[in-house]
Amino acid sequence: MRARAPGSEEDVATRPAKAGKPAEARPGHLRVVTGEEYADWDGVYRDNIDRVYRLLFGKVGNRADAEDLTTEVFLSALRPLRLPASAGEVRAYLYATARTVLARYWQRRLGQPVTGLPADVEAAGLGPELESAAPEQAEAILAALPERYRRILQLRFLDACSVAEAAAAMGITVANAKVLQHRALRRAAGLAED
């Protein structure tokens, strides 16, 4: 079971404010539930580290950068944070910080805004049960491709196969697998397959 910040209560603490029915329907409850509020940085961290990391991993696709960006978000966001504050406010602030950190990252790394976070927090799904949208986006990308293109990208990106393994799985040469991957990725990106 997850450790929880003092004063927060398992799960109830992370319920979205808009789905506040249990809170309203809780007359005469025995425990004090400060669920919608963080008392200290530790509570902010425990409750949000997972979702901030997932959010950023979904936008950079590699662990080293996702860890660095997550670190940057918490290092820069926590110090000026005035607590106690409501969970919604804190998350909106973490999200805005992540958004800025991500934009800076791409500017440094490729000089282009490769992926970004929309300004609208709700649209981005930074709700309490955040899941990366990457699986759905990947699904949509692959579903739109011809079978062989889909297969090579599936093997290489999702199934973690080497080029040789992917080539063997598809019964083609390594050279062909490389060409196929290149063309498939261009098609998936909406570019002409040179």
Question: Which of 7, 92, 100, 157 touches other proteins (CB under 8 A)?
Answer: 157
Q: Which is nearer to other proteins, 45 or 93 (CB)?
A: 45
Q: Are 153 and 145 in contact (CB under 8 A)?
A: yes
Site string for other proteins, 7-46 (x = CB under 8 A): --xxxx-xxx--x-xx--xx-xxxx--------xxx--xx
> Rounded to whole angstroms, how far apart are CA atoms 173 and 184?
16
Question: Which of 103, 134, 172, 174 touches other proteins (CB under 8 A)?
Answer: 134
> Rounded to whole angstroms, how far apart are CA atoms 66 and 164?
28
Q: Does 71 contact other proteins by CB under 8 A?
A: yes
Q: Does 82 contact other proteins by CB under 8 A?
A: no
Question: Which of 13, 66, 98, 180 touches other proteins (CB under 8 A)?
Answer: 66
- Three-state DSSP state, 38: strand
Q: Name 38's bridge partners.
A: 85
Q: Which is nearer to other proteins, 64 or 123 (CB)?
A: 64
Q: Label residues 89-102 b or e (16+ Cβ within 10 Å = b).
A: ebbebbbbbbbebb
Q: Does 80 contact other proteins by CB under 8 A?
A: no
Angle between the N-to-C axes of helices 63-78 and 41-60, in degrees from 0 to 180, rounded to the nearest 10: 140
Q: Does 162 contact other proteins by CB under 8 A?
A: yes
Q: Does 114 contact other proteins by CB under 8 A?
A: yes
What's the closest the beta carbon of residue 124 comes to other proteins, in angstroms?
A: 15
> Rounded to whole angstroms, how far apart are CA atoms 156 and 164?
10
Q: Does 177 contact other proteins by CB under 8 A?
A: no
Q: Are 188 and 145 in contact (CB under 8 A)?
A: yes
What's the closest the beta carbon of residue 123 comes to other proteins, in angstroms?
A: 16
Q: Does 168 contact other proteins by CB under 8 A?
A: yes
